[in-house]
């Protein structure tokens, strides 16, 4: 499914809002940070309430870029 730029930016905002208190090298929704989060985010964040939703959003963004 191809998403519009507006939809991707909306998802990016949602992801940044979810991970604001997560342990990350950088909370900005850049491609590199989304990849890092998917590959390494579970180590420090998997027990946080919105972790699974944040992973789902990150994957959606990356699938559409």
Integer angstrom CA distances of residue 19 from 1, 3, 4, 32, 55: 25, 22, 23, 15, 10
The pLDDT score that the predictor gives to residue 18 is: 94
d(CA 61, CA 34): 8
What pTM did the predictor assign? 0.89
Total domain count, the chain: 1
- pLDDT mean values, one per 10 residues, the chain (65 residues): 91 95 86 94 93 96 92
Q: Which domain holds residue 56?
A: 5-63
């Amino acid at each position: 499914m191809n998403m519009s730029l507006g939809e991707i930016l909306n998802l990016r905002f949602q992801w940044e809002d979810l991970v604001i208190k997560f342990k990350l090298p950088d909370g900005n929704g850049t491609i590199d940070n989304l990849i890092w989060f998917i590959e390494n985010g579970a180590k420090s964040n998997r027990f946080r309430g919105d972790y699974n939703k944040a992973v789902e959003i990150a994957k959606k963004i990356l699938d559409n870029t």
